[in-house]
Structure 1
Amino acid sequence: MKPVSGGTPAVTPLAAARAFDPERLQQARQLALKTKQDVADAVGVSAAAIGQFEAGITPPRADTVEKLAGYLKVPAGFFAAGRPRVRLESDNVFFRSLRSTTSRQRKKAISFTEQVWELANALERHVRFPSVDIPGFAGGEIAPGTFSPDPATAARQLRQAWDLGDGPVPQVVRLVESRGIVAVLVPMVEDEVARIDAFSTSAFNRPVMVLSPDRADDVYRHRFSAAHELGHIVLHGGRVAGTADIEREADKFAAEFLTPRAAMEPRLKTRLDMADVLRVSLEWGVEPKSVIYRSRELGKISEATARRGYIRLNQVGVHHEPVAQFPGELPSLLSTAIELAEQRGVTISRLASELAWIPAHVRRMLGSQDERPRLRLVD
């Protein structure tokens, strides 16, 4: 990245009302996990009026904009049109699991991903990002025929294009970022977005993947999630998200990308040796159960032997390595970009002004918490 060579003055509620962008209200409401009725009750209008604001039928008055800003915790200027944004449709976002998430959680995740793009786009006005280095990728899609429709073959093709050979991938997240993919880690596990686990889209001018440590906080599972989302980016542009078959395809891509057949066939044993399973897990950066599954998939062991292996793993337990202990698996593209931008005087406050966000929200999107101390009144 290299610094390249603005801020935006504060927009008053009156100016925001005159230049009101209906989609900004919807985005802010979905990020806050609020219904139209919730917002209506808070600002003193009807739910139908909120619907009309979001549909662009009528704009809110200046005093209503001020109340909306206060309730949804955004500056009044957030609602003004004129800043770059891309509308993301739900069919273009690949969620790991739809059964365990609500529609409101998914809508929040979509709005969150839109804002990841906005942050990256704002930073790219000041810092030169790596070019997207995925064969055939241009304008938010991969040219048909670039990759095989077979997930394992596509994984081998990408490994070859990235000159990875057949060895382990030392740092999956650092690798995808170096190839121009924007990755972010949802910083608070209690956040509704974090509960969705991982999701991605290739609908923007550069792909975006949103990762979250699961409750086990296991770096091996985290690496697989990143490789799974990479599979979606490579395989599924133009496909409708949310079907079981494409999730299976992304899993197959991830397995071949992390543990290529050419290396695994001579490495894996034809009997279940748990000590060796753990060695392979450590060498290749994958979960022990993935090693057992891969052994079964490649015909090294039987289905019955694999089941016994899973039972033994459950009995002895597996130590989970926290993601935070592996810097190469923590997204750093955006945070590095802001460090470079600061060399040109582009502070987080200035970036927040350009985006019409509050500074704490910029910090959160960069993966850090608000640095201000938490205070409370003395009883």
Structure 2
Amino acid sequence: MTKKEVAQDIGVSPAAVGQYETGSSKPRPDLLPRLADVLGVPLEFFLAGRPIGKLDTSMAYFRSLRSTSGAQRSRALGFAGQVWELTFALERRVQLPLVNLPGFTGGEVHPGTELPSDAREAAQDLRAYWKLGRGPVKHLVRQLETHGIVVSVPPEADEAASKIDAFATSGLPRPLMVLTRNRADDVYRHRFSAAHELGHLVLHSSSAGDSQQEREADAFAAEFLTPRTSILPFLPRRMDLAQLADLSRTWGVSVKSLIYRCRELGLASDATASRAYQRLNALTGQPGFSPEPVERFPGEQPIMLQRAFELAQKNQGLTIRELAKELAWRAERVQEILGARETRPVLRLVD
């Protein structure tokens, strides 16, 4: 909601709502029940002592920065803050995987380890550090979670966060990555976005929001997913889209990114790559060239927070409602972010 919308519903000025947000002034006590109703939160949401994951744009790396408004980024950061609040609540009960990310200041495993500043060298060193071998990286999102990175995909109902392309932040006690399906529900783009954001986390101490950082993150992602020395022997010396489609499925990257890799490694000229992109566009939707929905690939979907809740539920009797009360959220919001389903039978009344 905009400040104007909230202000109209509770009977104050938009400026007053802005002051509530920044903390420069507080709403009158009689306004709080109306504010809670308008925003769809329990009244306890506004009480002191609740953990708050507050981020600003300098603490997050946004892809497609120019195509997103400040309001969209603020909404997305609000979602990321909620993911952290939920993580914090679960981590009080369940030990999550240790943060094992070289260069991350909150790292719990060898926090002093640093990676090279060069994007390609950093990708090579991180693959070696995580013992990923020389071949394709299988189950990338699961790998990220295994090393303590919180990954979340906004629920479809969360339009505000879903409209933003993937982003990550290192401004919280754990590195956090949000992967959206903004442009296409395609596992290859999903994986490249995850590798791109991983590049930001290990290369950049803060977000400058410039094209140089984006290029470095892209270079990191390409080398991390398709290392030069490993992929080069398999790339065709003449542009062959059918062969690239086979490589795409093996390495978990798009045909488009493989065309770019051919040009980048000197196997194709700019003109050849341009013609290949045109041919690829004409083949969109054909067998072997259609988007692969992420839901078909369990290893590319985050499960850490959901598994943590299930473990706390089994061993400590934790319920969704208890967790919601602690966070001062609606129970439905907890379920949305966890990806948990309502297990109670649904009563349906018919005439």
Q: Normalising by structure 2, report the TM-score.
A: 0.92
Q: Is the Cα–Cα contact under 8 Å of residues 76 and 161 in structure 2 kept in the other structure?
A: yes
Counterpart residue type for residue 353 of structure 1: K
- CA displacement at 1:163 relative to structure 2: 0.6
1:350 corresponding residue in structure 2: 322
Aligned to 1:293, which of 249, 253, 260? 260
Decide whether the 8 Å contact of 2:59 with 2:169 is kept in 1: yes
Correspondence for 1:87 among 54, 71, 76: 54
Q: Cα distance, 1:372 vs. partner?
A: 8.1
**Partner-residue secondary structure (3-state), 1:253:** helix
Calculate the aligned-residue CA RMSD, in Å. Answer: 2.4
1:124 matches 2:95: no
Residues 168-191 of structure 1 deviation map (CA, whole Å, 9 limit, x = unaligned): 001110000000000001120771
List aligned pairs for 1:18-29, cutoff 5 A: none
| Shift, 1:203, TM fit | 1.1
Instruction: Quote the Cα distance in structure 2 between the aligned partners of 1:370 and 1:42.
Output: 31
**Deviations 1:29-52 (CA, angstroms, capped at 9, x unpaired):** xxxx321x3222111223343344
Equivalents in 1 of 2:24, 2:245: separation in Å? 61
1:165 deviates by 1.4
2:64 alignment partner, one of 84, 94, 97 = 97
- Cα separation, 1, equivalents of 2:147 and 2:277: 35
Deviation at 1:87, TM superposition (A): 2.5
Classify 1:164/1:41 alpha carbon distance in 2 versus 1 (closer, same or farther; 3 Å): same
Q: Partners of 1:58 and 1:168 in 2: how far apart? A: 53
Aligned equivalent of 2:307, options 336, 344, 348: 336
Pick one of 172, 175, 188 that aligns with 2:143: 175
Q: Are the equivalent residues in 1 in contact too, given 2:189–2:253 (CA < 8 A)?
A: yes
Shift of 1:206: 0.9
Gap change, CA 1:83 and 1:250, over 3 Å in 2: same
* Equivalent in the alignment of 1:6: none
- Aligned partner of 1:244 in structure 2 is 211
Return the letter of the residue paired with 2:321: S
Aligned pair count reads 345
2:282 maps to which of 303, 315, 319: 315
Match of 2:335 in 1: 363
Q: Is the 8 A contact 1:197 1:211 kept in 2?
A: yes
| One-letter identity of the residue aligned with 1:326 | F
Question: Are 1:188 and 2:159 matched, yes or no?
Answer: no
Residue 210 in structure 1 maps to residue 182 in structure 2: no
Q: What residue is the counterpart of 1:27 in the other structure?
A: none
Q: Alpha-carbon deviations, 1:295-318, whole Å to 9, x = none? A: 111111221111111111111222
Q: Which residue of 2 aligns with 1:38?
A: 5
Corresponding residue for residue 201 of structure 1: 169
One-letter amino acid of the structure 1 residue matched with residue 45 of structure 2: F
Q: Partner amino acid for 1:34? A: T
Moved more, 50-59 or 271-280: 50-59
5+ residue gaps, structure 2: none
The verdict on how the C-alpha distance between 1:55 and 1:259 changes in structure 2, with shifts beyond 3 A counting, is closer
Please state if 1:266 is matched with 2:233: yes
1:166 is aligned, of 134, 137, 140, to 134
Compare 57-66 and 344-353 and name the one that shifted more: 57-66
Residues 1:278 and 1:360: Cα distance change in structure 2 (over 3 Å): same
Report if the CA contact (8 A) 2:185-2:293 is conserved: yes
Residue 144 (structure 1) shift:
8.5
2:87 alignment partner AA? A
What letter is aligned with 1:355? Answer: L
Shift of 1:213: 2.0
Bigger drift between 94-103 and 115-124 goes to 94-103
- Which ranges of structure 1 fall in alignment gaps of 5 or more residues? 1-32
Give the 3 Å change call, closer, same or farther, for CA 140–99 of structure 1 in structure 2: farther
Amino acid at match of 2:11: G
Looking at structure 2, the residues matched to 315 and 264 of structure 1 have their Cα atoms a distance apart, in angstroms, of 26
Do the aligned partners of 1:360 and 1:369 also contact (CA within 8 Å) in 2?
A: no
Match of 1:135 in 2: 102
Percent sequence identity over matched residues? 52
**SS across alignment from 1:196:** coil
